Amino acid sequence: MAAGKQAAPFRFKRHDEVGAAGAEEDAEFLSACFVDTGDLKLLESPHDKRVIVLGRTGSGKTALLLELQEQRDNVIALVPENLALSYLSNSTILKFFDSLGVNLDPFFKLLWRHVLTVEILNRYFSDHPSKQEETLINRLRNLFPGKSVKEKGAQEAIDYLTQWGEKFWQETEYRVREITEKVENDLEAAAQAGINLTIGELSATGTASHRLTQEQKSDLVARGQHIVSEAQVQDLSKVLGLLRTVLEDRQQVYYVTVDKLDENWVEERIRYKLIMALILTAKEFLQVKNAKIVLALRRDLIERVFRLTRDSGFQEEKYHSLYLPLEWQKSDLIDLLDRRIARLVRRTYTQAPVTHRDLLPLRIDKIKIDEYLYQRCQRPRDIISFFNTCIHAAEGKPKVHVQALRKAEGEWSRQRFRALGDEWSADYPRLLDFAMLLRGRPRSFKVKSIASEEIEGFCLDRAAEAPEGHGILQRIVLQVVDLLLEPEEARKQIIRIFYRVGLVGLKLAPHESESWVDQLGRGVSSAEIDEETSVVIHTAFHRELGVK
């Protein structure tokens, strides 16, 4: 800079931002401004069995997995959409046996175990190149000539793996097809042996249920279940034992991360079963000390998976030890915001440290700005999007003044409200319509202040708007209209759902403080809610709902 020349004074520009809502689009800020709350160290440890990164939308799951990739060399990132798992949805044979009642879960576990094992083996051998051009299967055979007991066990596993065909060792999508086709062929052969008809002949006419006797169906179920389960039993110890033997070098840990499980990467009918099988497989891989399977799951998704795939005897608490729940303290969120502000300002204007205190009012309505932000934003995505909205409201100004901040909060509250509806659309398609039950109420109110007559009228209106609507909330409405559910019980069920999605907090007893679902990590039952329970509307939605 020439002598006497000063940097231009800082002013917010139209396109200034402190990051993007999604971690994938946040490359400029993500790694440089990453705040480690201690979760990364746990995730890196091969001895720590917390392998399910659990959190709500925008809590930093993807950011944590990307940072693991940044910090460690041996990270394999799998995206379900790229695994050709849609091939399963289109399989006539699998659909046929599934419709008969054959439990395909063992097959799904086998599929994941093979996909993950070969991904790790491929990475391992690429890290240890051979002087000769050899296939992976030949390198495995040369590694274990079979002289010791341990090597003989490895050879048996290698012999087992060769049955899946050569494409199995190539691209991941071929691996899925190869395994599925072999199981399909075995199932097809079993069907022909049992009923002397091909599955194609039965499925083409859609008469399977009419053309088969009960005895034939039972025979096919037994044959199909044996094939699916037998493949699982043969594979279980062999494949993981082989991987454990190969990865004996304790200095190298291999990670496989799986993200984006909440997207539509396969038909919903089997997606939840595949996710459940993946969770079980990640748990099995804990036996392999130098390999770790890390999954990113939304809290509502894992609850839905357990609800829709559980069988008799299922115990959800057995999986809690696998959870790494993402929780953000106020100091960590403010630190995250300050790092991003400093990067934005330093990049363009000055090398001097700049924080939120330099750009925002110190207090709003006598509340310190740190507390004001935390009341509204408890997740990284929230505080990033809130400050971005403030920037847009203060375009051309050197600071965000009170008037601009209030304007920004109104816009952000509308955005946050719509985002909540999108986040929970699978379980509660009309959540935002039902949230109008809170419009104009005080920040905190008793359950009994929503009168039974008000619930009845509200349900009549919702039923008239969508008489054929679906979803849990709409079922509650229709039950009230059909006099199958008392308005008082419907009121408790609706409040319970509002709590589950984070729209409200609850004060379940007079001597207790208000609690939020992210703090408890679980929902509440209708039985825990009574007329004296206090309902607290989340501050983020006050402006949109016109809370008094």
Mind spelling out the 3-state secondary structure of 99-123? HHCCCCHHHHHHHHHHHHHHHHHHH
pLDDT digits (tens, 9 = 90+) for 289-338: 899 999 999 988 998 899 889 887 788 889 999 999 999 999 999 999 99
pLDDT, residue 310, reads: 85
pLDDT interval class at 7 (50, 70, 90):
low
Tell me the mean pLDDT in the region 209-224. Answer: 80
Interatomic CA distance for residues 78 and 53, integer angstroms: 15
pLDDT interval class at 351 (50, 70, 90):
low
pLDDT interval class at 366 (50, 70, 90):
very high
Tell me the mean pLDDT in the region 71-83. Answer: 91
Interatomic CA distance for residues 198 and 216, integer angstroms: 14
**431 CB-contact burial (10 Å; exposed 0-12 / middle 13-18 / buried 19+):** buried
pLDDT, residue 98, reads: 87
pLDDT, residue 192, reads: 79
Percent of the chain residues past pLDDT 70, beyond the cut? 90
- Residue 28: helix, strand or coil by DSSP? helix
pLDDT, residue 451, reads: 96
pLDDT, residue 191, reads: 79
pLDDT at 163 over 80: no
pLDDT at 2 over 60: no
pLDDT at 345 over 70: yes
Tell me the mean pLDDT in the region 221-243. Answer: 80
Cβ atoms < 10 Å from Cβ of 291: 27
pLDDT, residue 546, reads: 96
pLDDT at 4 over 60: no
Q: Which long-range contacts (CB under 8 A, 24 or more apart) does 325-329 make?
A: 325/54, 325/55, 325/299, 325/521, 326/37, 326/39, 326/53, 326/54, 326/55, 326/59, 326/60, 326/61, 326/64, 327/37, 327/518, 328/37, 328/59, 328/60, 328/378, 328/379, 328/380, 329/37
pLDDT, residue 5, reads: 46
pLDDT at 81 over 90: no
Task: Mark 108-118 as b/e (b = at least 16 C-beta within 10 Å).
Answer: bbbbbbbbbbb
pLDDT at 197 over 80: no
Q: Say how far residue 176 (Cα) sits from the centre of its chain.
A: 22
Mean pLDDT value across the chain: 87
Closest to 485 (Cα-Cα) out of 526, 427, 441: 526
**H/E run at residue 363:** strand 363-364
**Residue 109 tokens, joined:** 């576990």
Tell me the mean pLDDT in the region 82-110. Answer: 87
Domain boundaries defined on the chain: 38-325, 330-423, 431-545
Interatomic CA distance for residues 241 and 157, integer angstroms: 8
Interatomic CA distance for residues 303 and 314, integer angstroms: 13
pLDDT, residue 537, reads: 97
Q: Say how far residue 216 (Cα) sits from the centre of its chain.
A: 41
pLDDT at 94 over 70: yes
List the beta strands (DSSP E) in 147-302.
Answer: 254-258, 291-298
Task: State the pairing for strand pair 367-368/363-364.
Answer: antiparallel
Tell me the mean pLDDT in the region 493-510. Answer: 93
pLDDT interval class at 210 (50, 70, 90):
low
The answer to whether 332 and 4 have CB atoms below 8 angstroms apart is no
Angle between helices 172-195 and 92-100 (to 10 degrees): 50
Q: Record the pTM.
A: 0.89
pLDDT, residue 347, reads: 59
Distance (Å) of CA 476 to CA 230, 434, 461, 530: 44, 11, 13, 18
Task: Mark 450-486 as b/e (b = at least 16 C-beta within 10 Å).
Answer: beeeebeebbeebbeeeeebebebbebbbbbbeeebe
- Residue 428: helix, strand or coil by DSSP? coil
pLDDT, residue 166, reads: 65
The answer to whether 500 and 342 have CB atoms below 8 angstroms apart is no
pLDDT interval class at 277 (50, 70, 90):
very high
The answer to whether 12 and 395 have CB atoms below 8 angstroms apart is yes
pLDDT, residue 255, reads: 97
pLDDT, residue 375, reads: 95
Which residues share a beta bridge with 367? 364
pLDDT, residue 202, reads: 57
Tell me the mean pLDDT in the region 448-457. Answer: 96
pLDDT at 371 over 50: yes
Mind spelling out the 3-state secondary structure of 386-405? HHHHHHHHCCCCCCCCHHHH
pLDDT digits (tens, 9 = 90+) for 170-190: 677 777 888 888 888 888 888
pLDDT at 208 over 60: no
